[in-house]
Structure 1
Amino acid sequence: MGKDHVVDQFRPVTPGVPSSEGTPGGPALGELLRLSSRGDQGAFAALYDATSRRAFGLALRVVRDPAQAEEVTQEAFLEVWRTASRFDPDRGSAVAWLLTIVHRKAVDRVRSAEASSRRDVAYHQQNQPVDHDATAEAAEASLEARRVRGALENLTEVQREALELAYFGGYTHTEVATMLDLPVGTAKTRIRDGLIRLRDAMGVGR
Protein backbone atom coordinates (compact mmCIF):
# COMPACT_ATOMS: atom_id res chain seq x y z
CA MET A 1 0.00 0.00 0.00
CA GLY A 2 1.48 3.39 -1.04
CA LYS A 3 2.17 6.07 1.49
CA ASP A 4 -0.22 8.51 -0.18
CA HIS A 5 -3.04 6.00 0.20
CA VAL A 6 -2.21 5.48 3.87
CA VAL A 7 -2.57 9.19 4.61
CA ASP A 8 -5.90 9.32 2.77
CA GLN A 9 -7.32 7.11 5.52
CA PHE A 10 -6.96 9.92 8.06
CA ARG A 11 -9.09 13.04 7.97
CA PRO A 12 -8.35 16.21 9.99
CA VAL A 13 -10.34 16.60 13.18
CA THR A 14 -12.62 19.63 13.40
CA PRO A 15 -13.48 21.83 16.38
CA GLY A 16 -15.89 20.18 18.77
CA VAL A 17 -14.93 16.64 17.85
CA PRO A 18 -13.30 14.66 20.69
CA SER A 19 -9.64 13.91 20.19
CA SER A 20 -7.33 11.41 21.82
CA GLU A 21 -4.52 13.95 21.85
CA GLY A 22 -1.87 13.09 24.36
CA THR A 23 0.93 15.23 25.72
CA PRO A 24 2.82 16.65 22.71
CA GLY A 25 6.55 17.10 22.61
CA GLY A 26 7.40 14.06 24.71
CA PRO A 27 9.57 11.14 23.68
CA ALA A 28 6.49 9.13 22.71
CA LEU A 29 5.87 11.33 19.66
CA GLY A 30 9.47 11.04 18.58
CA GLU A 31 9.21 7.28 18.80
CA LEU A 32 6.00 7.34 16.75
CA LEU A 33 7.80 9.36 14.09
CA ARG A 34 10.66 6.87 14.07
CA LEU A 35 8.26 3.96 13.62
CA SER A 36 6.30 5.87 10.97
CA SER A 37 9.51 6.36 9.00
CA ARG A 38 9.71 2.56 8.80
CA GLY A 39 6.21 2.34 7.33
CA ASP A 40 4.38 1.50 10.58
CA GLN A 41 0.81 2.57 9.82
CA GLY A 42 -0.34 1.97 13.38
CA ALA A 43 2.31 4.33 14.72
CA PHE A 44 1.34 6.96 12.16
CA ALA A 45 -2.32 6.62 13.13
CA ALA A 46 -1.38 7.15 16.78
CA LEU A 47 0.73 10.18 15.84
CA TYR A 48 -2.16 11.59 13.83
CA ASP A 49 -4.62 11.09 16.67
CA ALA A 50 -2.26 12.79 19.11
CA THR A 51 -1.49 15.85 17.02
CA SER A 52 -4.14 16.40 14.31
CA ARG A 53 -6.34 18.72 16.41
CA ARG A 54 -3.39 20.95 17.17
CA ALA A 55 -2.22 20.88 13.56
CA PHE A 56 -5.69 21.79 12.30
CA GLY A 57 -5.91 24.64 14.80
CA LEU A 58 -2.62 26.11 13.60
CA ALA A 59 -3.63 25.78 9.95
CA LEU A 60 -6.96 27.46 10.68
CA ARG A 61 -5.26 30.37 12.43
CA VAL A 62 -3.18 31.02 9.32
CA VAL A 63 -5.58 30.35 6.42
CA ARG A 64 -8.78 31.49 8.23
CA ASP A 65 -10.95 28.99 6.36
CA PRO A 66 -11.97 25.58 7.81
CA ALA A 67 -12.12 23.79 4.45
CA GLN A 68 -8.69 25.05 3.42
CA ALA A 69 -7.33 24.32 6.90
CA GLU A 70 -8.41 20.69 6.49
CA GLU A 71 -6.65 20.50 3.13
CA VAL A 72 -3.50 22.07 4.58
CA THR A 73 -3.55 19.65 7.51
CA GLN A 74 -3.94 16.70 5.15
CA GLU A 75 -1.06 17.92 2.99
CA ALA A 76 1.12 18.43 6.07
CA PHE A 77 0.50 14.92 7.40
CA LEU A 78 1.21 13.51 3.97
CA GLU A 79 4.60 15.21 4.10
CA VAL A 80 5.13 13.96 7.67
CA TRP A 81 4.41 10.41 6.52
CA ARG A 82 6.78 10.76 3.58
CA THR A 83 9.61 12.48 5.43
CA ALA A 84 9.39 11.12 9.00
CA SER A 85 12.92 9.79 8.67
CA ARG A 86 14.22 13.37 8.52
CA PHE A 87 13.11 14.16 12.06
CA ASP A 88 16.14 14.73 14.28
CA PRO A 89 15.31 14.73 18.03
CA ASP A 90 18.59 16.52 18.71
CA ARG A 91 17.35 19.59 16.82
CA GLY A 92 13.97 19.98 18.52
CA SER A 93 10.81 18.30 19.68
CA ALA A 94 8.61 16.14 17.48
CA VAL A 95 5.62 18.45 17.82
CA ALA A 96 7.71 21.50 16.85
CA TRP A 97 8.97 19.67 13.76
CA LEU A 98 5.44 18.68 12.79
CA LEU A 99 3.92 22.11 13.43
CA THR A 100 6.68 23.74 11.41
CA ILE A 101 5.56 21.65 8.43
CA VAL A 102 1.92 22.60 9.05
CA HIS A 103 2.80 26.30 9.33
CA ARG A 104 4.87 26.23 6.15
CA LYS A 105 2.06 24.54 4.22
CA ALA A 106 -0.47 27.05 5.56
CA VAL A 107 1.71 30.04 4.69
CA ASP A 108 2.27 28.61 1.20
CA ARG A 109 -1.49 28.30 0.78
CA VAL A 110 -2.04 31.93 1.84
CA ARG A 111 0.73 33.18 -0.43
CA SER A 112 -0.70 31.21 -3.34
CA ALA A 113 -4.15 32.70 -2.74
CA GLU A 114 -2.68 36.20 -2.49
CA ALA A 115 -0.73 35.71 -5.71
CA SER A 116 -3.90 34.55 -7.47
CA SER A 117 -5.78 37.55 -6.11
CA ARG A 118 -3.03 39.91 -7.30
CA ARG A 119 -3.20 38.38 -10.77
CA ASP A 120 -6.97 38.90 -10.86
CA VAL A 121 -6.64 42.50 -9.72
CA ALA A 122 -3.90 43.18 -12.27
CA TYR A 123 -6.05 41.72 -15.03
CA HIS A 124 -9.03 43.92 -14.17
CA GLN A 125 -6.86 47.01 -13.86
CA GLN A 126 -5.10 46.63 -17.19
CA ASN A 127 -7.43 49.10 -18.92
CA GLN A 128 -7.72 51.48 -15.98
CA PRO A 129 -5.92 54.85 -15.93
CA VAL A 130 -2.58 54.53 -14.18
CA ASP A 131 -2.34 56.28 -10.84
CA HIS A 132 1.37 57.03 -10.71
CA ASP A 133 1.35 57.75 -6.99
CA ALA A 134 -0.37 54.43 -6.24
CA THR A 135 2.02 52.63 -8.58
CA ALA A 136 5.01 54.11 -6.79
CA GLU A 137 3.60 53.11 -3.40
CA ALA A 138 2.95 49.54 -4.61
CA ALA A 139 6.47 49.27 -5.99
CA GLU A 140 7.92 50.54 -2.71
CA ALA A 141 5.82 48.04 -0.72
CA SER A 142 6.96 45.21 -3.00
CA LEU A 143 10.60 46.18 -2.56
CA GLU A 144 10.15 46.35 1.21
CA ALA A 145 8.56 42.87 1.25
CA ARG A 146 11.53 41.48 -0.67
CA ARG A 147 13.91 43.12 1.79
CA VAL A 148 12.09 41.48 4.70
CA ARG A 149 12.12 38.06 3.03
CA GLY A 150 15.81 38.42 2.26
CA ALA A 151 16.57 39.49 5.82
CA LEU A 152 14.67 36.50 7.23
CA GLU A 153 17.05 34.21 5.36
CA ASN A 154 19.89 35.57 7.52
CA LEU A 155 18.28 34.34 10.74
CA THR A 156 18.93 30.98 12.31
CA GLU A 157 16.25 28.37 11.76
CA VAL A 158 14.99 28.58 15.35
CA GLN A 159 14.86 32.38 15.27
CA ARG A 160 13.01 32.42 11.95
CA GLU A 161 10.56 29.79 13.19
CA ALA A 162 9.74 31.80 16.33
CA LEU A 163 9.42 35.10 14.44
CA GLU A 164 7.15 33.62 11.77
CA LEU A 165 4.80 32.22 14.40
CA ALA A 166 4.81 35.43 16.46
CA TYR A 167 4.54 38.05 13.73
CA PHE A 168 3.18 36.30 10.66
CA GLY A 169 1.05 33.74 12.48
CA GLY A 170 -0.17 36.26 15.06
CA TYR A 171 0.62 34.13 18.11
CA THR A 172 1.52 35.47 21.56
CA HIS A 173 4.88 34.66 23.14
CA THR A 174 3.15 32.16 25.40
CA GLU A 175 1.46 30.45 22.44
CA VAL A 176 4.73 30.32 20.52
CA ALA A 177 6.42 28.74 23.55
CA THR A 178 3.67 26.12 23.78
CA MET A 179 3.75 25.30 20.08
CA LEU A 180 7.54 24.94 20.04
CA ASP A 181 7.61 23.11 23.36
CA LEU A 182 9.86 25.76 24.93
CA PRO A 183 9.93 27.74 28.17
CA VAL A 184 8.31 31.15 27.65
CA GLY A 185 11.60 32.88 28.43
CA THR A 186 13.41 30.91 25.73
CA ALA A 187 10.72 31.72 23.17
CA LYS A 188 10.94 35.43 24.04
CA THR A 189 14.72 35.32 23.69
CA ARG A 190 14.52 33.69 20.24
CA ILE A 191 11.99 36.28 19.10
CA ARG A 192 14.02 39.18 20.52
CA ASP A 193 17.30 37.95 19.05
CA GLY A 194 15.60 37.30 15.72
CA LEU A 195 14.21 40.86 15.65
CA ILE A 196 17.65 42.28 16.41
CA ARG A 197 19.25 40.29 13.57
CA LEU A 198 16.35 41.20 11.27
CA ARG A 199 16.81 44.89 12.08
CA ASP A 200 20.55 44.70 11.50
CA ALA A 201 20.12 42.81 8.22
CA MET A 202 17.71 45.48 6.94
CA GLY A 203 19.93 48.33 8.12
CA VAL A 204 17.23 49.83 10.33
CA GLY A 205 18.57 52.59 12.56
CA ARG A 206 21.85 52.87 10.70
Structure 2
Amino acid sequence: MTIQRETLWQSGDSDDFEAVFDRCSRAVYNHAFRLTGSWSVAEDVTQAVFLTAWRRRAEVRLVDGSPLPWLLVTASHHARSEQRALTRWRNRLFRAPADEILADPADDVAGRLDDERRMREVLTAVRRLPRAEREAVALCLWSGVSYSEAAAVLGVTESTVRSRVSRARARLSRQLATDPDPPPAIVRPQPVGAAVPVRPNDPGPSGATASLAAGISPKVTAATAHLQEES
Protein backbone atom coordinates (compact mmCIF):
# COMPACT_ATOMS: atom_id res chain seq x y z
CA MET A 1 0.00 0.00 0.00
CA THR A 2 1.38 3.40 -0.94
CA ILE A 3 1.48 6.40 1.36
CA GLN A 4 -1.03 8.12 -0.89
CA ARG A 5 -3.45 5.23 -0.55
CA GLU A 6 -3.07 5.22 3.24
CA THR A 7 -4.08 8.88 3.40
CA LEU A 8 -7.04 8.71 1.02
CA TRP A 9 -9.29 7.03 3.58
CA GLN A 10 -9.16 10.13 5.76
CA SER A 11 -11.45 11.82 3.24
CA GLY A 12 -14.04 9.04 3.55
CA ASP A 13 -13.00 6.38 1.03
CA SER A 14 -14.28 3.15 2.60
CA ASP A 15 -12.28 0.92 0.24
CA ASP A 16 -9.03 2.56 1.25
CA PHE A 17 -10.00 2.39 4.91
CA GLU A 18 -10.59 -1.35 4.47
CA ALA A 19 -7.11 -1.65 2.98
CA VAL A 20 -5.65 0.11 6.02
CA PHE A 21 -7.59 -2.29 8.25
CA ASP A 22 -6.23 -5.31 6.37
CA ARG A 23 -2.70 -4.03 6.76
CA CYS A 24 -2.81 -2.87 10.39
CA SER A 25 -5.40 -5.03 12.19
CA ARG A 26 -2.94 -7.84 12.95
CA ALA A 27 -0.52 -5.46 14.67
CA VAL A 28 -3.34 -3.74 16.57
CA TYR A 29 -4.74 -7.09 17.73
CA ASN A 30 -1.31 -8.31 18.89
CA HIS A 31 -0.78 -5.04 20.76
CA ALA A 32 -4.18 -5.30 22.46
CA PHE A 33 -3.60 -8.94 23.39
CA ARG A 34 -0.27 -8.16 25.02
CA LEU A 35 -1.87 -5.37 27.03
CA THR A 36 -4.91 -7.37 28.17
CA GLY A 37 -3.81 -11.02 28.13
CA SER A 38 -7.23 -11.93 26.72
CA TRP A 39 -8.02 -12.94 23.15
CA SER A 40 -11.68 -11.92 23.50
CA VAL A 41 -10.91 -8.51 24.99
CA ALA A 42 -8.26 -7.97 22.32
CA GLU A 43 -10.89 -8.57 19.63
CA ASP A 44 -13.20 -6.02 21.26
CA VAL A 45 -10.38 -3.51 21.53
CA THR A 46 -9.38 -4.00 17.88
CA GLN A 47 -12.93 -3.47 16.73
CA ALA A 48 -13.25 -0.33 18.88
CA VAL A 49 -9.96 1.07 17.58
CA PHE A 50 -10.97 0.92 13.93
CA LEU A 51 -14.44 2.24 14.67
CA THR A 52 -12.79 5.19 16.42
CA ALA A 53 -10.38 5.62 13.51
CA TRP A 54 -13.23 5.76 11.02
CA ARG A 55 -15.30 8.22 13.05
CA ARG A 56 -12.29 10.43 13.74
CA ARG A 57 -10.45 9.82 10.48
CA ALA A 58 -9.87 13.53 9.88
CA GLU A 59 -8.04 13.72 13.23
CA VAL A 60 -5.79 10.68 12.82
CA ARG A 61 -2.13 11.64 13.10
CA LEU A 62 0.02 9.97 10.46
CA VAL A 63 3.67 9.26 11.20
CA ASP A 64 5.75 8.94 8.03
CA GLY A 65 2.49 8.43 6.16
CA SER A 66 1.31 5.56 8.39
CA PRO A 67 -1.62 5.54 10.84
CA LEU A 68 -0.25 2.52 12.76
CA PRO A 69 1.40 4.41 15.66
CA TRP A 70 -1.83 6.35 16.22
CA LEU A 71 -3.84 3.13 16.07
CA LEU A 72 -1.59 1.47 18.66
CA VAL A 73 -1.88 4.38 21.10
CA THR A 74 -5.66 4.36 20.61
CA ALA A 75 -5.62 0.61 21.33
CA SER A 76 -3.82 1.32 24.62
CA HIS A 77 -6.57 3.75 25.62
CA HIS A 78 -9.34 1.30 24.73
CA ALA A 79 -7.53 -1.55 26.53
CA ARG A 80 -7.47 0.48 29.75
CA SER A 81 -11.19 1.19 29.39
CA GLU A 82 -11.94 -2.48 28.80
CA GLN A 83 -9.90 -3.50 31.83
CA ARG A 84 -11.76 -1.02 34.04
CA ALA A 85 -15.10 -2.34 32.76
CA LEU A 86 -13.95 -5.92 33.35
CA THR A 87 -12.95 -5.08 36.91
CA ARG A 88 -16.39 -3.60 37.61
CA TRP A 89 -18.07 -6.66 36.11
CA ARG A 90 -15.96 -9.03 38.21
CA ASN A 91 -16.77 -7.11 41.36
CA ARG A 92 -20.49 -7.46 40.66
CA LEU A 93 -20.04 -11.13 39.78
CA PHE A 94 -18.33 -11.96 43.06
CA ARG A 95 -21.13 -10.25 44.98
CA ALA A 96 -23.78 -12.37 43.23
CA PRO A 97 -25.25 -15.46 44.98
CA ALA A 98 -23.45 -18.65 44.03
CA ASP A 99 -26.55 -20.27 42.51
CA GLU A 100 -26.89 -17.38 40.06
CA ILE A 101 -23.51 -18.08 38.45
CA LEU A 102 -23.87 -20.56 35.60
CA ALA A 103 -21.03 -22.73 34.34
CA ASP A 104 -19.93 -22.39 30.71
CA PRO A 105 -20.51 -25.74 28.97
CA ALA A 106 -17.79 -25.27 26.32
CA ASP A 107 -15.15 -27.99 26.54
CA ASP A 108 -12.25 -25.69 25.76
CA VAL A 109 -13.08 -22.85 28.15
CA ALA A 110 -10.83 -24.17 30.92
CA GLY A 111 -7.86 -24.42 28.58
CA ARG A 112 -8.35 -20.93 27.24
CA LEU A 113 -8.70 -19.47 30.72
CA ASP A 114 -5.50 -21.23 31.76
CA ASP A 115 -3.68 -19.74 28.76
CA GLU A 116 -4.94 -16.30 29.68
CA ARG A 117 -3.99 -16.80 33.33
CA ARG A 118 -0.43 -17.65 32.38
CA MET A 119 -0.29 -14.72 29.98
CA ARG A 120 -1.38 -12.42 32.79
CA GLU A 121 1.45 -13.76 34.95
CA VAL A 122 3.89 -12.59 32.30
CA LEU A 123 2.16 -9.21 32.08
CA THR A 124 2.13 -8.61 35.84
CA ALA A 125 5.61 -7.14 35.96
CA VAL A 126 4.93 -4.90 32.97
CA ARG A 127 1.69 -3.62 34.48
CA ARG A 128 3.57 -2.52 37.58
CA LEU A 129 5.45 -0.01 35.47
CA PRO A 130 4.35 3.64 35.51
CA ARG A 131 1.89 4.35 32.72
CA ALA A 132 4.33 6.37 30.59
CA GLU A 133 6.97 3.62 30.75
CA ARG A 134 4.40 0.91 30.08
CA GLU A 135 3.23 2.71 26.93
CA ALA A 136 6.81 3.13 25.74
CA VAL A 137 7.50 -0.59 26.23
CA ALA A 138 4.27 -1.61 24.50
CA LEU A 139 4.89 0.61 21.50
CA CYS A 140 8.65 0.35 20.98
CA LEU A 141 9.53 -3.10 22.26
CA TRP A 142 6.38 -5.16 21.76
CA SER A 143 4.89 -3.61 18.64
CA GLY A 144 8.08 -2.55 16.89
CA VAL A 145 7.29 1.16 16.60
CA SER A 146 10.47 3.23 16.28
CA TYR A 147 11.47 5.70 18.98
CA SER A 148 10.85 8.61 16.63
CA GLU A 149 7.39 7.33 15.63
CA ALA A 150 6.42 6.75 19.26
CA ALA A 151 7.62 10.24 20.17
CA ALA A 152 5.56 11.79 17.38
CA VAL A 153 2.32 10.07 18.33
CA LEU A 154 2.80 10.50 22.11
CA GLY A 155 3.71 14.16 21.74
CA VAL A 156 7.08 13.92 23.49
CA THR A 157 10.72 14.01 22.38
CA GLU A 158 12.57 10.96 21.13
CA SER A 159 15.02 11.22 24.03
CA THR A 160 12.07 11.08 26.44
CA VAL A 161 10.84 7.85 24.86
CA ARG A 162 14.33 6.34 25.04
CA SER A 163 14.61 7.35 28.69
CA ARG A 164 11.25 5.75 29.50
CA VAL A 165 12.25 2.50 27.84
CA SER A 166 15.58 2.48 29.68
CA ARG A 167 13.90 3.04 33.05
CA ALA A 168 11.33 0.35 32.25
CA ARG A 169 14.07 -2.17 31.51
CA ALA A 170 15.74 -1.40 34.83
CA ARG A 171 12.47 -1.78 36.74
CA LEU A 172 11.65 -5.06 35.01
CA SER A 173 15.09 -6.39 35.80
CA ARG A 174 14.59 -5.68 39.50
CA GLN A 175 11.01 -6.98 39.59
CA LEU A 176 11.62 -10.21 37.73
CA ALA A 177 14.91 -10.91 39.49
CA THR A 178 12.94 -11.28 42.74
CA ASP A 179 10.55 -13.80 41.18
CA PRO A 180 11.86 -17.27 42.16
CA ASP A 181 10.41 -18.92 39.07
CA PRO A 182 9.59 -17.42 35.68
CA PRO A 183 6.05 -18.12 34.49
CA PRO A 184 5.49 -21.28 32.44
CA ALA A 185 5.57 -21.21 28.67
CA ILE A 186 2.46 -19.78 27.11
CA VAL A 187 0.42 -21.26 24.33
CA ARG A 188 -0.77 -18.17 22.52
CA PRO A 189 -4.59 -18.27 22.49
CA GLN A 190 -6.22 -18.02 19.10
CA PRO A 191 -9.28 -15.78 18.80
CA VAL A 192 -12.53 -17.27 17.64
CA GLY A 193 -15.67 -15.75 16.27
CA ALA A 194 -16.16 -13.12 13.60
CA ALA A 195 -15.90 -9.93 15.65
CA VAL A 196 -12.59 -9.05 13.99
CA PRO A 197 -11.33 -10.86 10.87
CA VAL A 198 -7.82 -11.49 12.11
CA ARG A 199 -5.71 -14.53 11.31
CA PRO A 200 -4.15 -15.93 14.52
CA ASN A 201 -1.58 -18.06 12.72
CA ASP A 202 -0.17 -15.16 10.70
CA PRO A 203 3.24 -13.99 11.90
CA GLY A 204 3.12 -10.79 13.92
CA PRO A 205 5.94 -8.33 14.63
CA SER A 206 9.03 -10.39 15.45
CA GLY A 207 11.94 -9.58 17.74
CA ALA A 208 10.00 -7.16 19.93
CA THR A 209 10.33 -8.95 23.23
CA ALA A 210 13.87 -10.03 22.45
CA SER A 211 14.86 -6.36 22.45
CA LEU A 212 13.15 -5.92 25.79
CA ALA A 213 15.21 -8.72 27.29
CA ALA A 214 18.52 -7.58 25.81
CA GLY A 215 21.02 -6.61 28.46
CA ILE A 216 18.76 -7.57 31.37
CA SER A 217 18.86 -10.54 33.71
CA PRO A 218 18.21 -14.11 32.49
CA LYS A 219 14.90 -14.16 34.37
CA VAL A 220 13.71 -11.18 32.35
CA THR A 221 14.75 -12.99 29.20
CA ALA A 222 12.90 -16.13 30.28
CA ALA A 223 9.72 -14.25 31.10
CA THR A 224 9.59 -11.96 28.10
CA ALA A 225 10.47 -14.78 25.72
CA HIS A 226 6.96 -16.14 26.24
CA LEU A 227 5.62 -13.10 24.41
CA GLN A 228 7.77 -13.65 21.27
CA GLU A 229 5.70 -14.00 18.12
CA GLU A 230 6.36 -16.91 15.77
CA SER A 231 8.53 -15.74 12.92
TM-score of the two chains, using structure 2 as the length reference:
0.45
Indicate the structure (1 or 2) with the bigger Cα radius of gyration.
1
Higher percent of residues as helix: 1
Structure 1 length-normalised TM: 0.49
